[in-house]
Amino acid sequence: MTTITTSLFLSLVLSCVLQVSSNGDAEILSRVKRSRLSDPDGKLNDWIITGDNRNPCNWTGIKCDSKNRSVTAIDLSGYGLSGGFPYEFCRVRTLVNITLSENNLNGTIDSAPLSLCSRIHVLILNENGFSGKLPEFSPEFRSLRVIELESNLFTGEIPESYGKLTSLRVLNLNGNSLGGIVPAFLGNLTELTRLELAYVRFEPGPIPSTFGSLTKLSYLRLTNSNLVGEIPDSIGNLIPESIGKLKSVYQLELYDNNLSGKLPESIGNLTAMRNFDVSQNNLTGELPEKIASLQLVSFNLNDNFFNGELPRVVALNPNLVEFKIFNNSFTGTLPRSFGKFSGVTEFDVSTNRFSGELPPYLCYMKKLERLISFGNRIKGEIPESYGECDSLNYIRTADNKLSGEVPVKVWELPLTRLELSNNQLQGSIPPSISNARNLSQLEISGNNFSGEIPGRICDLGELRVVDLSRNRFSGSLPSCINRLKNLERVEMQENMLDGEIPSSLSSCSKLTELKLSDNRLRGGIPPKLGELPVLNYLDLSNNQLSGEIPPELLKLKLNQFDVSDNRLSGKIPSGFQQDIFLRSFFGNPDLCAPDMDPIRPCRSKPEPRFVLVISVVCIVALIGALVWLFIKTKPLFQRKPKRTDKVTIFQRVGFTEEDAYPQLTEDNIIGSGGSGLVYRVTLKSGETLAVKKLWGGPGRKPESESVFRSEVEILGRVRHGNIVKLLMCCSGEEFRFLVYEFMENGSLGDVLHSEKEHRAVSTLDWTTRFSIALGAAQGLAYLHHDSVPAIVHRDVKSNNILLDHEMKPRVADFGLAKPLKREDNNSVSHVSPMSCVAGSYGYIAPEYGYTMRVNEKSDVYSFGVVLLELITGKRPNDSSFGENKDIVKYAMESALCYSSPSPGDKAMNQDSPGNFRDLSKLVDPKMELSRGEYEEVEKVLEIALLCTSSFPISRPTMRKVVELLKEKKPLE
Ligand SMILES: *[C@@H]1O[C@H](CO)[C@@H](O)[C@H](O)[C@H]1NC(C)=O
Ligand SMILES: *[C@@H]1O[C@H](CO)[C@@H](O)[C@H](O)[C@H]1NC(C)=O
Ligand SMILES: *[C@@H]1O[C@H](CO)[C@@H](O)[C@H](O)[C@H]1NC(C)=O
């Protein structure tokens, strides 16, 4: 009884006494512990006051000054404590450090009681459950050096009072759901050495230029902070030499900013670094030797203004896997020993000014997959050793000065693309090229290749693009060419080919371009060419073709047609008797047409008098015809607003805009979007089509104009089984419309998330979901890797994946899509600035929001979100994930839970029942999964998490995603 009264009395007195003994501190501490904290694990059981234990200095978590034994620091990290913030610890007058990280403390931190703590130097509360507004620190907190509040549930803006904490060295607010923008007043905190504001969900805003005054900063983390606009010039101050002190940096990602100047030499001190990416900046100068000698796994300097020679040491790095330095101005030769010491898989030195030869040991470790060296001045022969490189699947080394013969074994490699255009190579294509079974693009134009085109080339069923133009090939076109069912583009112009055009070409039904001009081809034009359903370009000019022009060619929808300078004869089919085709027929003296001056008319010259009569008759007839035409067309003019000016047809469709127009009624609307309405239109034939009507006519609304243009430009050109087909587009004065094949089952988004029971689908089973995932991935991989130029979709989401009657997916809606452009060449890994933030909420990759730039990896992220939708059946922003959590965060956390075994637990294989249980929380309860399917879901989940990695570099390419999905075995 007396002890209790004594201690109560004591604590009352202590609160107003300035000097307290450590005995008093013991009372304070143990009382606060009892009243404010719950200690389920009993970690603080030694916090008791007994006769011989009245000094807290040896209590768990307490530190005292070694001289006067006063309590200076409390560190209770990771003790499993719960309760509210223990303000009254601060009644211990000598206390300066409070660290309470990794506990379950919660509630708000209020400014009035917190003022008790105004003397403290350090406040570290990471990883707790504190909520409400960030704590306010009044000006009395003059000594505050460190505030760390990472991973709590604080909300609201950063209080202005933080701008006055001028002694602050460290401010870490990572992982809270703050609002507002990055406040400029933080620039007042000039003593800061570390500022961390990652993953805080600011509103989109710029990095304040005031941050330039933070000259002592050595660690700045602004990942995923919704930063937009350019990095202010002043930020250049932030990469001082001191950055090199961050010795433990593993990955330094500064890519896609506006960084200029030279790379600070001190980066070479970051010896633990493995991934280094400063691509897409305005960096200049030479690559410092010290940085080149870092043992990096991935080394990305692309898209800058670096110059000078590569330090030789760069090739001695035993870790190097990915080396991308394209689009710079490097000179000199490529170090010969590249690849000798490490398993380089991707080597992209394209668009520089390298001279000298290709490094002969590049595939020494048998790991090289992609060799990209176009656009340099590389000379010499293609090393014989490359022929032994079975891992190689992609070669682009156009626009160099390579000479000699291509090693026979290089032609036989399992390549998907072989691009050697515009060099000085010679020799012939060996028949053994038939071993290159995966070859899809063969581009070797502009060399001195000669000999015949081997018939064995017809074994390469994957060939899509064959460009042999501007060489000295002779002989005839192989007649087996009909076996190349995937051919899309054939360019063989400017060679010495003779023989006839094989009419079997007509079975290459995907052929869109056929250029055979400037050869010595003989015989007639095969009428069957008219059967090619999608041929747009046909150039047969400057050959020795004879016979009549087959009227069958009129069936083609030709954008370009040229048969000039041949020996064609007879009457030009009447459908071609139009001015736009005039030039197509020049240089064929034996062709005739009634009214196509200067092409001679077909009849022999009649008697002069007769001519006069005929002329009079003609004039009368002409006037009559005009009058008739006027009457006839009058109704057409009256419904002028509906008249279309321009119709472009991409695929044969049996209808005109007049058939469609009456059906564009409210009843037929099947969807609407920002750019217009989508209607379902049924033709007389019974065929159903989807028609998108865009608001306004040309020039009315710029957004809608650009949507129209990008759809037409991209879809008119792209053909792939998993990409929606644009059949036709019409552009009128007041409207434009786009006609697509109709997709029976609507969008994947509808099927997965629609409230009402979906028409055709009750539940999507896993097998169907998986094949949708794979199909969509293939469509995107095509856009990124095979389309020329490569295309980034920019709005990948479940609502833009349409499903046909067999649930086969088609990627749709290219209104925001953009080709990846570069000055003279196209390569998928290159990026282009985007004009405005595009994409849909929940699908936007973290980097997308602040860099204002887009690359194909942003699509990969969005695709990862779609995978997660397929697995969970939830929308990307489903409210059940909890506030401020999206599907990615949710899946990541769930995945972490189910894959973190207790230490030493070896039972982490697929059969572990624990895994099953936990994974099943994540998957859509509507699916019933077999054990085998569970494994597949697990694999797809891992792929989804790879795709949604915050760092674009860590995301796989779409081609890789397709591979991973197809692989049967689980991921490593
Ligand atoms: C603290 O010191 C006292 C003696 O001053 C001793 O009796 C007690 O066991 C010590 N406690 C711990 C946890 O070491
Ligand atoms: C308080 O924490 C800081 C930084 O963590 C440290 O440098 C300092 O030595 C600590 N002071 C005491 C008294 O423990
Ligand atoms: C704090 O956590 C406890 C459980 O540890 C809980 O009962 C209480 O409601 C929480 N308080 C707040 C404000 O979240």
28-70 pLDDT per residue, tens = 999 999 999 999 999 999 898 877 667 899 899 999 998 888 9
Is residue 936 over pLDDT 70? Answer: yes
Contact at 8 Å (CB) between 590 and 568?
Answer: yes
For the domain made up of 748-966, the CATH class stated in words is mainly alpha
Nearest atom (ligand 1) to Cα of 59: 13
Decide if pLDDT at 467 tops 60.
yes
Given ligand 2 and candidates 62, 69, 122, 144, which is best to mutate, with the most ligand atoms within 8 Å of its CB? Answer: 122
DSSP E strand boundaries for 259-382: 260-261, 275-277, 282-285, 298-300, 305-309, 322-324, 329-331, 346-348, 370-372, 379-380
Atom of ligand 1 nearest to the CA of 60: 13
pLDDT at 58: 87
Coil, strand or helix at 234: helix
pLDDT exceeds cutoff 50 at 183: yes
CA nearest 256: which of 900, 708, 853?
A: 853
Query: Among 126-140, 467-481, 612-626, where is mean pLDDT lowest?
Result: 612-626
Does any ligand 3 atom lie closer than 6 A to the CB of residue 107? yes
Atom 4 (ligand 2): residue with closest C-alpha? 122
What average pLDDT score do residues 579-589 get?
85
Q: Tens digit of pLDDT for each residue in 387-420? A: 999 999 999 999 999 999 999 999 999 999 999 9
Mean pLDDT of 715-730: 79
Q: pLDDT band at 679, cuts 50/70/90? A: confident
pLDDT band at 697 (very low <50, low <70, confident <90, very high): very low
Nearest CA residue ID for atom 5, ligand 3: 82
Most informative mutation of 121, 145, 170 for ligand 2 (most atoms within 8 A of CB): 121
* Ligand 2 geometric centre to CA of 71 (Å): 12
Q: How far apart are CA 864 and CA 961, in angstroms?
A: 10
Mutate to test the pocket of ligand 3, among 39, 41, 106 (most ligand atoms within 8 A of CB): 106
108 within ligand 3 shell (Cβ under 6 A): no
Q: Which residue has the higher pLDDT, 418 or 556?
A: 418
Tell me how far apart the alpha carbons of residues 748 and 908 are, in angstroms, rounded to a whole number.
34
pLDDT top residue among 7 and 947: 947
CA–centroid distance, residue 918 to ligand 3 (Å)? 25
Q: Using a 6 Å cutoff on CB, does residue 52 contact ligand 1?
A: yes
Residues recorded for the chain: 972
Asked whether the predicted pLDDT for residue 282 surpasses 90, the reply is: no
Average pLDDT, the chain: 80
Ligand approaching nearest to the C-alpha of 153: 3
Each residue's pLDDT tens digit, 314-351: 999 999 999 999 999 999 999 999 999 999 999 999 99
- Ligand 1 pocket residue status of 23, Cβ below 6 Å: no
Q: Give the C-alpha separation, 842 to 854, whole Å.
A: 16
| pLDDT for 916 | 39
How many angstroms does the Cα of residue 120 sit away from the middle of ligand 1? 27
Identity (one letter) of the amino acid at 628? W
Q: Report CA(61)–ligand 1 centroid distance (Å).
A: 14
Nearest to 863 by CA among 879, 882, 887, 883: 887
Instruction: Please provide the DSSP assignment of 149-171 as one string.
Output: --SSEEEEPPPGGGGG-TT--EE
Q: Is 870 exposed, middle or buried (0-12, 13-18, 19+ CB in 10 A)?
A: buried
| Contact between 952 and 859 (Cβ < 8 Å) | no
Amino acid, single-letter form, for residue 167: S
Worst-scoring range by mean pLDDT, 120-124, 677-681, 869-873? Answer: 677-681
Centre of ligand 1 from the C-alpha of residue 25, in Å: 16
Q: What is the pLDDT of residues 361-391, one digit of tens each?
A: 999 999 999 999 999 999 999 999 999 999 9
Among 441-445, 767-771, 905-909, whose mean pLDDT is lowest? 905-909
Residue pLDDT, tens place only, 97-125 = 999 999 999 999 999 999 999 999 999 99
- Residues 263-276, mean pLDDT to the nearest whole number: 77
Please give the pLDDT value at position 695: 61
Q: Whose CA is nearest to atom 3 of ligand 2?
A: 122
Which ligand approaches the C-alpha of residue 81 most closely? Answer: 3
Atom of ligand 1 nearest to the CA of 57: 1
Check pLDDT > 60 for residue 479.
yes
Give me the pLDDT at residue 306, please: 95
Tokens of 656: 């005109």
Residue 305 clears pLDDT 70, i.e. is over it = yes
Separation CA 480–CA 460 (nearest Å): 11
What span, in angstroms and rounded, lies between the C-alpha atoms of 296 and 150? 30
Joined together, the tokens standing for residue 942 give 């891992």
End-to-end CA gap in the chain: 66
Tell me: pLDDT of 725 over 50: yes
Q: Which residue has the higher pLDDT, 206 or 699?
A: 206
Tokens of 785: 């890797």
What is the number of other CB atoms lying within 10 angstroms of the CB of residue 836?
7
Q: Is the CB of 60 under 6 A from ligand 1?
A: no
Mutate to test the pocket of ligand 1, among 44, 49, 54, 58 (most ligand atoms within 8 A of CB): 58
Ligand 3 near 82 CB (within 6 A): yes
pLDDT above 80: residue 23? no
> Which active-site residues does the annotation give?
795
* pLDDT score at 854: 64
Distance 107 CA to ligand 3 centre (A): 7
Ligand 2 within 6 A of CB of 96: yes
Backbone angles phi, psi at 444, to 5 degrees: -130, 30
- Report which ligand 3 atom has the smallest distance to the Cα of 107: 13
Residues 754-788 have pLDDT tens digits of 765 544 456 788 999 999 999 999 999 988 888 77
Type and span of the H or E element at 63: strand 62-64
What pairing do the DSSP bridges indicate for beta strands 567-571 and 219-221?
unpaired
pLDDT at residue 696, rounded to an integer: 56
- 21, 505, 554, 559 from 537: Cα distances, Å: 94, 14, 13, 6
Residue 424 CB–ligand 1 contact under 6 Å:
no
Q: Rounded to the nearest whole angstrom, what is the distance from the C-alpha of residue 886 to the centroid of ligand 3? A: 24
Which atom of ligand 2 lies at the shortest distance from residue 65's CA?
Answer: 13
Residue 482: other Cβ atoms inside 10 A: 17
Q: Which of the four pLDDT bands, split at 50, 70 and 90, describes residue 678?
A: confident
pLDDT of amino acid 834 = 35
Residue 968's pLDDT band, with cuts at 50, 70 and 90, is low
Average pLDDT over residues 937-944: 91
Residue 160: CB partners within 8 Å, gap ≥ 6? Answer: 183, 185
The reply, when asked if residue 693 is annotated as ligand binding, is yes
Query: 681 falls in which pLDDT band (50, 70, 90)?
Result: confident
What is the fold of 646-741? Phosphorylase Kinase; domain 1 (3.30.200)
Backbone angles phi, psi at 658, to 5 degrees: -70, -30
pLDDT band at 881 (very low <50, low <70, confident <90, very high): confident
User: Does the structure show a pLDDT above 80 at 519?
Assistant: yes
- How far, in Å, from the CA of 273 to the mean position of ligand 1? 45
The answer for residues whose C-beta is within 8 angstroms of residue 756's C-beta and 6 or more apart is none
Percent of the chain with pLDDT over 70: 77
Q: Which ligand is nearest to the CA of 128?
A: 3
Across 468-493, average pLDDT: 94
Residue with tokens 């509906």: 642
Q: Residues 117, 163: contact at Cβ < 8 Å?
A: no
Per mean pLDDT, which of 422-426, 653-657, 805-809 is the most reliable? Answer: 422-426
Q: What distance in angstroms lies between residue 373's CA and the mean position of ligand 3's atoms?
A: 61
Atom 6, ligand 1: residue with shortest CA distance:
53
pLDDT at 915: 42
Which ligand 3 atom sits nearest the alpha carbon of residue 108? 13
Three-state SS sequence of 628-693: HHHHHHHHHHHCHHHCEEEEEECCCCCCCHHHHHHHCCHHHEEEECCCEEEEEEECCCCCEEEEEE
Q: Give the DSSP H/E element, type plus range, for residue 819.
A: strand 818-819
From ligand 3's centre to the CA of 162, what distance in Å? Answer: 27
Angle of helix 931-947 versus helix 913-922 axis, rounded to 10:
60
Cα 97 to middle of ligand 2, angstroms = 6
Please state, in angstroms and rounded to a whole number, the distance separating the CA atoms of residues 822 and 790: 10
CA-97 nearest atom, ligand 2: 1
CA distance 691 to 777: 25
Parse the chain into domains and list their residue ranges: 646-741, 748-966
Decide: 319 in ligand 3 pocket, CB within 6 A.
Answer: no
Q: What's the whole-number mean pLDDT along residues 824-830?
A: 34
Q: Identify the nearest ligand to the CA of 54 by its number.
A: 1
101 lines ligand 2 (CB under 6 A): no
**pLDDT band, very low/low/confident/very high, at 227 (cuts 50, 70, 90):** low
Q: 3-state SS of 116-143?
A: HHCCCCEEECCCCEEEEECCCCCCCCCC
Higher-pLDDT residue of 242 and 376 is 376
Ligand sitting nearest the alpha carbon of 37 = 3
- Give CA–CA dist 947/5, Å, rounded: 64
CB of 57 shorter than 6 A to ligand 1: no
Q: Whose CA is nearest to atom 13 of ligand 2?
A: 72
Lookup result for tokens 């009254």? 88
The sign of the CA dihedral 20, 21, 24, 26 is positive
Identify the weakest region by mean pLDDT among 388-392, 576-580, 687-691: 576-580
Higher-confidence residue: 905 or 6? 6
Ligand nearest the Cα of residue 26 is 1
How does pLDDT run across 829-866, given as a tens digit for each residue? 333 333 334 567 788 887 665 555 567 888 999 999 99
- Indicate whether residue 910 lines ligand 1 (CB < 6 A): no
Atom of ligand 3 nearest to the CA of 84: 1
Condensed to tens digits (0 to 9), the pLDDT of residues 594-609 reads: 877 788 888 654 434 4
66 vs 259, more confident: 66
Q: Quick one: tokens of 306?
A: 């670096």
51 lines ligand 1 (CB under 6 A): no
Rounded to whole angstroms, how far apart are CA atoms 897 and 918? Answer: 8
Q: Render pLDDT for 135-159 as a digit per residue (tens, 0 to 9).
A: 999 989 999 999 999 989 999 999 9
Contact call for residues 178 and 158 (beta carbons, < 8 A): yes
Pairing between strand 370-372 and 394-396? parallel
Whether pLDDT at 819 is above 70: no
- Range 530-544 average pLDDT: 89
Alpha-carbon distance 754 to 770, whole Å?
A: 19
Closest CA to ligand 3's atom 10: 106
* Whole-number percent of the chain with pLDDT over 90: 45
